[in-house]
Amino acid sequence: MSLLERVGVDARSDRSLFVLDAPCPADVPSELDVDGQFVCLLAWDATTVPGAEVSTLAERLLQAGCVYICAWGPACDRVHASFDEAAVTRSPEGPCVMSTSHEGESLEVALWFLLVCASPDHAFADGCRSAVAISIGAPSWAAAMRAAMVDPDGFTARVVGDG
């Protein structure tokens, strides 16, 4: 099982920030000890991953309290679609679990989106008090996410300044 690491708080959103470096999808815990519900960046190369495994992870994260998923990495469109399907199956009448795919974007841009733009459905707004960045099978991605989330203001200023 992988360790969920609290790395700080984003003063702008008042969300607690967490990073999870998981060697494989099965290492993502079914319960995450975070503050309330959470927005999530899932960085994963799901190119060769069977659809059932993607669906299982989507269910696990939704059950854990994910209310907004940002999918990034090779085949992230598959991951995005799987989350949409799982969310609608769980709650066909709503509220809506938001999702975005960041195909073709840099990890830095996807992480900036998580920190600055990811706003859940109004029904989840008050309970969403955390942002979780999960890397599966790529410790270097987890390290980049950790470095950014330790100083979210400096990171977002740098990304906006670069863009």
* Identity of the highest mean pLDDT range in 37-46, 92-101, 148-157: 37-46
Residue 83 belongs to domain with CATH number = 3.90.190.20
Please give the tally of structural domains in the chain.
1
Q: Which domain holds residue 140?
A: 4-162
pTM of the model: 0.95
Q: Sheet of 37-44: strands edge to edge?
A: 4-10, 15-22, 128-136, 37-44, 66-72, 98-101
Instruction: Assess whether pLDDT exceeds 80 at residue 2.
Output: no
Helix boundaries (H) for the chain: 51-64, 76-90, 107-116, 139-150, 152-162
